A and B are shown apart, each in its own frame.
Chain A
């Protein structure tokens, strides 16, 4: 097999993986702070993708422009979801939280099915077929832009948690629920903020991914699983781990698709997940729980 083909496929895998990483980052941030596993994560992603498609068909709005209003809307949506539905569940057992989010996921998937039907939707912009060539190696324009936005958004989130007062307050809530309450932090508000931020990550990732793949309502559950695989491989609650996991999964999907069969690609992701869970259950970059 030609080396340049392998390099090109690997490159595409890594770039897509960065977008996956941003999606997983949302899940990881929510779990790291709120301690709730968002089983509706992939479904939220498909909602973002459909929103981008809708804005594109209605107003000819390029996904790179619609990403800002969609992210803002998702932030509000996430905030409301946390205050309205999830906050009452944070002290309940895991299976109860799981059922709540599964119920939301079922409603979202089938709501989308009712609204848009089962057909695949996408956006078509002129730079999707363009690429830069560096010798035999091709850089897909849309993919490079999408990965760039994913890195920017992740960087902004890192900076937010590291340097702002609100970010520090959220980390305090994550480290010690009781302690944060004692020093007078409105924990539920910060939880809602976190869920909003996680949703905004999903929104950005969704707007970027719609440039690379078509969306159908049934994609939701598979993205949820994909996000789980990524954050566990990277380390649940670790922000760097989510990006690393995204890149690794993107790369392994691309390689499996090239060398074995495209239909077997997620088998390798799950195999990787099983191996990581067994030999490094805290994930590649996670701390021991």
Chain B
């Protein structure tokens, strides 16, 4: 079997398992699976910018937060559901991404400086939202939980299973979109820019335009994460949603899984979430539930992966399974 067909078979198997999961999983398992899909989706979105086009963003919490507040604000004040709110969220995030991209790329900011600029915008917005009373300020914005039984898809009100399937659909959609993007003209231009921007420019690629496209697509995708987050957790605080640790949380998955790959963000999200949860359980079992213990383990695992698997887990695993194109 060729690598491509084996990959397709694996994908079909994974999709079937994920579709059937709510039939067997209990509430706890379902929440973990939803979380994995959430990080897989967000990581996929970030990967478009960094993995495909080579632009390191450390401020993706900005788009999560803006998307969340856009949709939640509409719902909270005017009762307009996320089916409309998502468009506002996308518009706001695209505008923010375009503004940052335009300023950075026009002024020739790249590499570390670009990464720090994205942090600066996210932090600036975080503190700004602390001072917007209309959206709850530092006290947070809370969405009413009216019912948890019937699935009301348009308003994203319903049981956890509904959220699971919504997130699964989003993650599958993001995967398909990324697979298509990677093989499209944009994908090839991005990879050229990622590998050597000057050479790409010399070949006549308008690097400014294609980098902008990457930022805008990534921001628009991440806005979905924000809307989902707002309606899944029903509460929003600038302090947590815009915080740099959320940006780091999002990018850990793809980096651990394998930057620039399609399966990397999914695998990374699964590994990290399962690891974090099993560490919590393990520590609870041995009675070591100090605050911070879990994160220290997390840090150590991260350190080991970065040191010994510099390209992430997926490329190594793919070679083992005979799924990479070279084999």
A binds B: yes
Give residues in A with beta carbon < 8 Å to B: 37, 85, 88, 92, 94-96, 98-100, 102-107, 109-114, 117-118, 217, 221, 225, 228-229, 232, 236, 261, 263-264, 266-267, 270-271, 273-274, 277-279, 281
- Bound-state Cα–Cα, A78 to B177, Å: 44
Q: Tell me how far the C-beta of B307 lies from the nearest C-beta in chain A, rounded to whole angstroms.
A: 7
Q: Tell me how far the C-beta of B306 lies from the nearest C-beta in chain A, rounded to whole angstroms.
A: 5
- The answer to whether B244 and A225 have CB atoms under 8 Å apart is yes
The 8 A CB mask of B131-159 against A (1 = contact, 0 = none) is: 10000001000000000000000000000
Stretch at the interface among B77-85, B87-95, B197-205, B287-295: B287-295
Q: Tell me how far the C-beta of B116 lies from the nearest C-beta in chain A, rounded to whole angstroms.
A: 6
- The answer to whether B306 and A94 have CB atoms under 8 Å apart is no
Chain B neighbourhood of A228, CB < 8 A: 116, 119
Q: Closest residue to A280 on the B side, CB-wise? A: B107
Q: Closest residue to A92 on the B side, CB-wise? A: B310
- The answer to whether B115 and A94 have CB atoms under 8 Å apart is yes
Q: Tell me how far the C-beta of B50 lies from the nearest C-beta in chain A, rounded to whole angstroms.
A: 7
- The answer to whether A277 and B117 have CB atoms under 8 Å apart is yes
Q: Give the number of residues in B that approach A within 8 Å (Cβ atoms).
A: 45
Chain A neighbourhood of B127, CB < 8 A: 263-264, 266-267, 270
The 8 A-B pairs of least Cβ separation, nearest first, read A113-B292, A106-B299, A110-B292, A107-B299, A110-B295, A103-B302, A103-B303, A270-B124
Which of A98, A103, A232 has the most chain B CB atoms inside 10 A of its CB?
A103
With contacts A96-B310, A264-B127 taken as known, whether A103 is within 8 angstroms of B56 at the C-beta atoms is no
B23 contacts chain A at the CB level, 8 A cutoff:
no
- Bound-state Cα–Cα, A279 to B106, Å: 11
Can you name 27 A-B residue pairings with CB atoms under 8 Å? A85-B307, A95-B50, A95-B255, A95-B259, A98-B58, A99-B302, A100-B306, A103-B300, A112-B292, A113-B295, A114-B293, A228-B119, A229-B120, A236-B112, A263-B127, A267-B124, A267-B127, A270-B121, A274-B120, A277-B104, A277-B109, A277-B116, A277-B120, A278-B103, A281-B108, A281-B109, A281-B113
Chain B neighbourhood of A281, CB < 8 A: 107-109, 113
Q: Tell me how far the C-beta of B98 lies from the nearest C-beta in chain A, rounded to whole angstroms.
A: 15
- Bound-state Cα–Cα, A287 to B295, Å: 39
With contacts A225-B123, A267-B127, A270-B120 taken as known, whether A232 is within 8 angstroms of B299 at the C-beta atoms is no
Chain A neighbourhood of B56, CB < 8 A: 94-95, 98
Q: Tell me how far the C-beta of B284 lies from the nearest C-beta in chain A, rounded to whole angstroms.
A: 16
- The answer to whether A99 and B111 have CB atoms under 8 Å apart is no
- Bound-state Cα–Cα, A146 to B306, Å: 38
Contact of B298 among A92, A106, A225, A274 (CB under 8 A): A106
Q: Closest residue to A118 on the B side, CB-wise? A: B291
- Bound-state Cα–Cα, A106 to B252, Å: 12
Q: Tell me how far the C-beta of B51 lies from the nearest C-beta in chain A, rounded to whole angstroms.
A: 10
- The answer to whether A110 and B293 have CB atoms under 8 Å apart is yes
Chain A neighbourhood of B291, CB < 8 A: 110, 113-114, 117-118
Chain B neighbourhood of A274, CB < 8 A: 117, 120-121, 124
The 8 A CB mask of B246-283 against A (1 = contact, 0 = none) is: 00100010010001000000000000000000000000
With contacts A104-B299, A225-B123, A281-B109 taken as known, whether A98 is within 8 angstroms of B292 at the C-beta atoms is no
- Bound-state Cα–Cα, A281 to B300, Å: 35
The 8 A CB mask of B67-83 against A (1 = contact, 0 = none) is: 00000000000000000
With contacts A264-B131, A267-B124 taken as known, whether A107 is within 8 angstroms of B303 at the C-beta atoms is yes
- Bound-state Cα–Cα, A80 to B58, Å: 28
- The answer to whether A103 and B130 have CB atoms under 8 Å apart is no
Chain B neighbourhood of A267, CB < 8 A: 124, 127-128
- Bound-state Cα–Cα, A182 to B267, Å: 43
Q: Closest residue to A232 on the B side, CB-wise? A: B116
B296 contacts chain A at the CB level, 8 A cutoff:
yes
Contact of B296 among A92, A114, A225, A273 (CB under 8 A): A114
Contact of B299 among A95, A110, A270, A271 (CB under 8 A): A110
B245 contacts chain A at the CB level, 8 A cutoff:
yes
- The answer to whether A102 and B111 have CB atoms under 8 Å apart is no
Chain B neighbourhood of A217, CB < 8 A: 292
Q: Tell me how far the C-beta of B327 lies from the nearest C-beta in chain A, rounded to whole angstroms.
A: 24
- Bound-state Cα–Cα, A107 to B119, Å: 21
Q: Closest residue to B255 on the A side, CB-wise? A: A99
Q: Tell me how far the C-beta of B257 lies from the nearest C-beta in chain A, rounded to whole angstroms.
A: 12
- Bound-state Cα–Cα, A92 to B255, Å: 14
- The answer to whether A100 and B295 have CB atoms under 8 Å apart is no
- The answer to whether A106 and B295 have CB atoms under 8 Å apart is yes
Q: Closest residue to A117 on the B side, CB-wise? A: B291
- Bound-state Cα–Cα, A228 to B117, Å: 10
- Bound-state Cα–Cα, A98 to B248, Å: 10
Q: Closest residue to B302 on the A side, CB-wise? A: A103
- Bound-state Cα–Cα, A103 to B245, Å: 12
Chain A neighbourhood of B123, CB < 8 A: 225, 266, 270
- The answer to whether A100 and B307 have CB atoms under 8 Å apart is yes
- Bound-state Cα–Cα, A275 to B248, Å: 24
Q: Tell me how far the C-beta of A27 lies from the nearest C-beta in chain B, rounded to whole angstroms.
A: 11
Q: Closest residue to B100 on the A side, CB-wise? A: A274
Complex interface residues of chain B between 284 and 327 (CB less than 8 A to chain A) = 290-296, 298-300, 302-303, 306-307, 310
- The answer to whether B259 and A107 have CB atoms under 8 Å apart is no
- Bound-state Cα–Cα, A228 to B112, Å: 11
- Bound-state Cα–Cα, A98 to B291, Å: 25
- Bound-state Cα–Cα, A99 to B138, Å: 30
